[in-house]
Structure 1
């Protein structure tokens, strides 16, 4: 049997990112039957003295290297897929979720101080925790860690790197809190290898999905796809 011209072509590896916050559609290209998906939720806004929690992250991929939450997503060439990128929360508000295809592939946004079950001085929980107001240094967490402070926000406890892989770039730094011992100056926002989606304020957490500092807005999340397909 003769092969079609398309079947004789070689597939190429693609990366596609969706950002900033909003609703998108993606048409699955020819030759693509599964896709690795990395999601970051929107970061929470900071409270009066505390840092917002960074957006949570999730990874769905075929390769079992590093962290993953599930297998690659099965798709059909020509399929139209809805993509949602979570918005960063405004002051004192949690971030919104990011999603690919349906709610099976969804990640939540970071939490504000109040949504973390505390009060205005607590750091927000999230992908990386926010720093709290208090009498100790109050930095935002990085790469899935807790923030610091008297009532630090709790991080997700695993890496926020792209596709959960050791060589991936870090996402979602927690927002810093303010320290009463130093005239309410801020700590340090959680580190990220991206500037897009950074939490607002001088000590906001690094992007994507960074937590906001003090009363500032959190950064938007992102959806990143990795797949093999025929080149257009």
Structure 2
């Protein structure tokens, strides 16, 4: 974990400094374009993280992998935060560009649905006393919500929205100058590393917590079997 923390912060901090201090302002949007260096990586992570959540759900439901449920449980709060940051920065960016904080176009609405799916999964997996039952219900919800990912991705192509088409992931040359594309990709890499590090840290802490609980339960059972031990009422 120290190596992962060092790597993620070592990439993210210079990337953010590059984006906020050294990259040029946009000729139309001015300095507000710098919101892009947080908004776009958060949007990528919201979708990529949910794809990871769906994969963990498949591993849990089909192959009963013990770490899959745990990984999905710890992933959903971080994914919800990333999606919330995507919505918040998008709103801040949209106000000076579009003249409104929010518009119910296809991209915004589908990302809002994605946020509710993240929050719903986080709540559902913690709503049952039986953790296995909660994990199963959360996995089903995660797999049902996968149908929303293509809507988020292709909404700007399928419907008339305020958002522009893809500027980076295109078969032709990216519609962005290298002076902006470089810091954007650096920020995306740094935020992705931080996202993965946070998920691994939460999973590691959850595994250790379960080991402690199992050890305490084993000790309690041994104490109950010990001869002459007074059992409390």
User: TM-score normalized by structure 1?
Assistant: 0.26
Q: Which has the larger radius of gyration?
A: 2
Larger RCO (CA within 8 A; separation ≥ 6)? 2
User: TM-score normalized by structure 2?
Assistant: 0.26
- Give the strand-richer structure, 1 or 2: 1
